[in-house]
Amino acid sequence: MRELATGQANGKIILMGEHAVVYGEPAIALPFSAAQVTATIQSAPEDWLDSSYFSGPLTKAPTALNNLKELLHLLRHDFATGPVICRITSTIPAERGMGSSAAVAVAVTRAFLAWQQVEETPTGLLQYVNTSEKIAHGNPSGIDAAATSGTEPILFERQQPFIPFPLNLDGCLIVADTGVKGKTRDTVADVAHLMSVAPTATKQIITRLGDLTREAKTAISANQSYHLGNLMNEAQALLQQLSVSNGTLDHLVQVALNNGALGAKLTGGGRGGCMIALASDPQSAAIIANQLTAAGAQETWLQALGCRPAVSAWL
Ligand code: PMV
């Protein structure tokens, strides 16, 4: 057993396919390395959590952290260890559709396994993370756990093994936070309502969103960033029809397009959270990010989409 061990995980962004993935269509999720979680595990006299949200004995942690409490209990039980102190630092904003809770679970599990000097296997890791995610979200599709633990984009379908594929795109993604918590539970319920009152039209939208996701995967593999931008724009129009966008997201999407974005859309559950825009190069991305900030975005991040150095190194 090591003295102290560290685990890391990144955030995630859904590039295409949110909401349609609930109805069996594919979605593409990207690991979002601009936002990360680091966890450390170490022996301690009693179980202790140290994070920006709560610091103190694990028994006193608020119910909002039940997922983490249970995860640590489970790991302690499975590996028959004594009490631990778990320290967490994160740059992933909570409840913005960036997979914060899954990333914390990935980082903590990784730190624990490293502390126990147990080799990490993808299935073993995801089992722990999905257990924690079920406590956090009820019935997660599993896309967050898969995307926050990996380093490649994934094509994700419910109940299917996810398919990692390489990013091969000359382009740069801008992520902008509306500053408002996402409303995933509400929007998923509202799409379900639409499906029950207007099944034919709603199914058509969902099917088209699935087709757009498949086309997006092809566009990424063929390095067609302009085509990908058009697909993102069409997806945004369909998400508006599903009523999951809102005035703030629509406004930021329009600002991005007015300032040279190849495409822009909401990401994740909608009616808050984040939007994404695709730029042809880092210079254009920096202009778009500045304009989004001027238009009210609370925070923006840039991420290169190809096998290039980190964007921050080019600017
Ligand atoms: O808001 P997020 O990032 O958790 O994404 C939700 C994605 C949905 O497709 C809307 C719901 C789901 O469970 O897949």
**Ligand 1 atom with least separation from CA of 19:** 9
Q: How far is the CA of 19 from the centre of ligand 1 (A)?
A: 6
Whether residue 243 contacts residue 190, with contact meaning beta carbons closer than 8 Å, is answered with: yes
Of the candidates 4, 28, 6, which has an alpha carbon nearest to the alpha carbon of residue 231? 28
Would you state the pLDDT for residue 291? Answer: 98
Whether residue 170 contacts residue 203, with contact meaning beta carbons closer than 8 Å, is answered with: no
Q: What residues pair up with 85 in beta bridges, in sequence order?
A: 42, 48
**174 has pLDDT over 90:** yes
Q: How far apart are CA 249 and CA 240, in angstroms?
A: 10
How many residues in total does the chain contain? 315
Identify the structural domains of the chain with CATH numbers, from first to last: 4-164 (3.30.230.10), 172-313 (3.30.70.890)
**46 has pLDDT over 50:** yes
**309 has pLDDT over 80:** no
Q: How far apart are CA 160 and CA 169, in angstroms?
A: 26
Percent of the chain with pLDDT over 90: 79
Q: What is the mean pLDDT of residues 55-73?
A: 95
Residues near 196 by beta carbon (within 8 Å), at least 6 away in sequence = none
Q: How far is the CA of 42 from the centre of ligand 1 (A)?
A: 33
Helix (H, G, I), strand (E, B) or coil at 11: strand
Q: How far is the CA of 123 from the centre of ligand 1 (A)?
A: 22
Q: How far is the CA of 267 from the centre of ligand 1 (A)?
A: 9
Q: What residues pair up with 64 in beta bridges, in sequence order?
A: none
Weakest mean pLDDT among 83-87, 91-95, 192-196, 305-309: 305-309
Residues near 88 by beta carbon (within 8 Å), at least 6 away in sequence = 37, 38, 39, 49, 50, 51, 52, 104, 107, 108
Q: Whose CA is nearest to atom 11 of ligand 1?
A: 19
**Ligand 1 atom with least separation from CA of 270:** 1
Q: Whose CA is nearest to atom 5 of ligand 1?
A: 268
Q: How far apart are CA 134 and CA 266, in angstroms?
A: 25
Q: Exposed/middle/buried for 240, CB within 10 Å: 0-12, 13-18, 19+? A: middle
**253 has pLDDT over 90:** yes
Q: What is the mean pLDDT of residues 34-41?
A: 95
Ligand 1 pocket test, candidate residues 15, 92, 143, 157, most atoms within 8 A of CB: 143
Distance, first Cα to last Cα, the chain: 43
Whether residue 112 contacts residue 4, with contact meaning beta carbons closer than 8 Å, is answered with: no
H/E element, 56: strand 55-57
Q: How far is the CA of 257 from the centre of ligand 1 (A)?
A: 24
Q: How far apart are CA 214 and CA 235, in angstroms?
A: 12
Q: What is the mean pLDDT of residues 208-237?
A: 97
Q: Whose CA is nearest to atom 3 of ligand 1?
A: 97
Q: How far is the CA of 184 from the centre of ligand 1 (A)?
A: 6
**Number of helices (H) and strands (E), helices first, in the chain?**
9, 11
**Ligand 1 atom with least separation from CA of 187:** 10
| Torsions phi, psi for 201 (to 5 deg) | -65, -40
* Ligand 1: lining residues by beta carbon, under 6 Å: 14, 18-19, 21-22, 97, 141, 143, 182, 184, 188, 268-269, 273
Whether residue 31 contacts residue 144, with contact meaning beta carbons closer than 8 Å, is answered with: no
pTM of the model as a whole: 0.88
DSSP per-residue letters across 57-82: EGGG--GGGHHHHHHHHHHHHHTT--
Residues near 38 by beta carbon (within 8 Å), at least 6 away in sequence = 6, 7, 8, 88, 89, 90, 107
**Ligand 1 atom with least separation from CA of 273:** 1
Q: How far is the CA of 7 from the centre of ligand 1 (A)?
A: 25
Q: Where are the alpha helices (DSSP H) in the chain?
A: 66-78, 100-115, 122-137, 143-149, 184-197, 199-221, 225-241, 247-258, 282-294
Average pLDDT of the chain is 92
Ligand 1 pocket test, candidate residues 21, 148, 178, 265, most atoms within 8 A of CB: 21
Q: How far is the CA of 75 from the centre of ligand 1 (A)?
A: 27
Q: How far is the CA of 157 from the centre of ligand 1 (A)?
A: 12
Q: What is the mean pLDDT of residues 72-81?
A: 97
Instruction: Please write the tens of the pLDDT for every residue from 132-157.
Output: 998 887 767 788 899 999 988 999 99
Q: How far apart are CA 27 and CA 166, in angstroms?
A: 15
